[in-house]
Structure 1
Amino acid sequence: MSSNSDALSAASAGLGRNTAVVAAAGTLARPDAIARPARARIIRLVIEIVVLYMLVPIAMLHMILAWRLPLFTLLPPLLAAFVVMLAVDRGFSFRREILRTFPPRFIVWTLLTFIVGGGLVALAVQELLPRQFLAFPRDRPEIWQRVMLFYPLLSVIPQELAYRTFFFHRYGPLFAGRRWALILINGLLFGFGHVMFGNWVAVAGTMATGMLFAFRYDTSRSLAVVWLEHTLWGWLVFTVGLGGYFFTGVAFQGDFSLPWTWK
């Protein structure tokens, strides 16, 4: 018993310094059967990914379009399921995930990336979609303020728990030594998860930002850092005039008729 405990403790200590290990900040020591999955477990994990991150969004799109169910009634139970799966996992600690410390440089890089990238997005919207630019805060300031307030809490936190924390924790062993493959796939799945919004702007935009968030989480291992970055980009989207593509609850008049919109 003591030898197993010592082995697990050593593995836990190595999570933070072994570049081949891919895990969440809250991931605890894992036995070899999980850290180095055999073929049967690999197949099972891949099936899980397909079901959770591809089939579920497709099913939600069907329920929205065919059954006219509002998105805000479908998301809470789904996102709560990810929280429950993490909570019952003995190999995961919410305390470690939430209280993870990080060097200030990650905040600096997050802000610099947002200033440059966000500035380019704002200029593009102003040039290509002038009628939509700043339409939301200008025409519906009260709703815009509520979105700014509740979006970081009710949307960003659940999304990051589902797509970064849960994904890195459970499926990280599939990508040992292949971090960029994880970042790419995580970003693609994050974008595909927005297929329920019914337009290519949401899917393509979140694929790009999803890769950015995955990269930031991989390098910082901080839920707080990626929460901040996700919040900043979300605020930008709703402010500059792209909110109608990303959130069906935004009710303001705007011209969203683009060739790649399938609504």
Structure 2
Amino acid sequence: MHSVQYRLIEFFIVFIVIPISFVLQYQLWLKLTIGLLGFIYAIYVLLKVENNKFKLRKHINWKQFWQRTTIKLLVIIVITTLYVYLVDHKNLFVVIKSKPLFWLAILFIYSVFSVYPQELIYRTFFFQRYQSLFRSNTLFVFVNAAMFSLAHIFFRNILVSIFTFVGGLLFAITFKKTKSTLLVSIEHALYGCWLFTVGMGEMLGFPN
């Protein structure tokens, strides 16, 4: 385990400096390289420093997880459907109606190559590295959600920042309860896929 000072510097660079830097104007390949190096660093620390085995946790309460996630998903479905219907009616379910195969492909790519890496960094890595630095669990969850929202600052969209902060709260609470990267990734994928499906994908960087 690295020292407290090291972890604070690590936190500042990985979760504040790098995300904010993506707002600046410089070459995309450099941004992708920085993001990839950050991800590789997180995986290295999880494997070599935190001694993660990346095994499926035993005794997962799947029934409880699905009950809670279904309720939250239904609330999200109602709110976002009403929002798109009232604010951007022409895009309501536009992708699934016009490009169903493309819709399926994006859902798969997003879930595997975007959601899971995000959850490895923002839940698994974040919790193992920094939870012990906070006396208050509530403050820790709040900070985690704030950092997750900051990771999306490059969209330059207030609504995206709000959505990702609320999502960050939900995901942090789920991970705190389950300690499962798989479960929180499933939840994250469901909400993200729904937003793309209902017609909010363009706002969140999904291709149309």
Shift of 1:60: 2.4
User: Could you tell me which amino acid in structure 1 is paired with residue 43 of structure 2?
Assistant: V
Aligned to 1:82: 42
Asked if 1:44 is matched to 2:6, the reply is yes
Mapping for residues 51-62 of structure 1, pairs under 5 Å: 51-62=13-24
Once the two structures are superposed, residues 16-40 of structure 1 have per-residue CA deviations (whole angstroms, 9 ceiling, x without a partner) of xxxxxxxxxxxxxxxxxx6xx9xxx
Alpha-carbon RMSD: 2.3
Shift of 1:242: 1.3
Mapping for residues 1-263 of structure 1, pairs under 5 Å: 41-62=3-24, 65-69=25-29, 75-89=35-49, 91-96=50-55, 98-103=56-61, 104-176=63-135, 178-247=136-205, 250=207, 252=208
Number of residue pairs the alignment of both structures matches = 207
User: Could you tell me which amino acid in structure 1 is paired with residue 42 of structure 2?
Assistant: F
User: Could you tell me which amino acid in structure 1 is paired with residue 17 of structure 2?
Assistant: L
Q: Name the CA distance, whole Å, in 2 between partners of 1:125 and 1:199.
A: 16
Q: Name the CA distance, whole Å, in 2 between partners of 1:171 and 1:74.
A: 22
Shift of 1:138: 2.8
User: Could you tell me which amino acid in structure 2 is paired with residue 244 of structure 1?
Assistant: E
Aligned to 1:12: none
User: Could you tell me which amino acid in structure 1 is paired with residue 190 of structure 2?
Assistant: L
Q: Name the CA distance, whole Å, in 2 between partners of 1:124 and 1:105.
A: 29
Q: Tell which deviates more after alignment, 238-247 or 210-219.
A: 238-247
Shift of 1:71: 6.6
Q: CA, structure 1 residues 100+199, in 2 after alignment: closer, same or farther (shift >3 Å)? A: farther
Unaligned residue ranges in structure 1 (runs of 5+): 1-33, 253-263
Q: Name the CA distance, whole Å, in 2 between partners of 1:82 and 1:188.
A: 19
User: Could you tell me which amino acid in structure 2 is paired with residue 58 of structure 1?
Assistant: I
Report which of the two has the higher share of helix: 2
Q: Name the CA distance, whole Å, in 1 between partners of 2:85 and 2:41.
A: 39
User: Could you tell me which amino acid in structure 2 is paired with residue 135 of structure 1?
Assistant: V
Q: Name the CA distance, whole Å, in 2 between partners of 1:185 and 1:162.
A: 14
Whichever of the two has the greater Rg, that structure is 1
- Aligned to 1:244, what secondary structure does the other structure show? coil
User: Could you tell me which amino acid in structure 1 is paired with residue 128 of structure 2?
Assistant: H
Q: Name the CA distance, whole Å, in 2 between partners of 1:85 and 1:75.
A: 16
Q: CA, structure 1 residues 115+73, in 2 after alignment: closer, same or farther (shift >3 Å)? A: farther
- Aligned to 1:233, what secondary structure does the other structure show? helix
| TM-score, length-scaled by structure 1 | 0.71
Shift of 1:100: 4.2
- Aligned to 1:57, what secondary structure does the other structure show? helix
User: Does the 8 Å CA contact 2:14/2:38 hold for their aligned counterparts?
Assistant: no
| TM-score, length-scaled by structure 2 | 0.88
User: Could you tell me which amino acid in structure 2 is paired with residue 126 of structure 1?
Assistant: Y
Unaligned residue ranges in structure 2 (runs of 5+): none
User: Could you tell me which amino acid in structure 2 is paired with residue 188 of structure 1?
Assistant: A
Once the two structures are superposed, residues 181-235 of structure 1 have per-residue CA deviations (whole angstroms, 9 ceiling, x without a partner) of 1110000100000112232222221111001100111112122221111011110
Shift of 1:87: 1.4
User: Could you tell me which amino acid in structure 2 is paired with residue 158 of structure 1?
Assistant: P
Percent identical: 25
Q: CA, structure 1 residues 119+77, in 2 after alignment: closer, same or farther (shift >3 Å)? A: farther
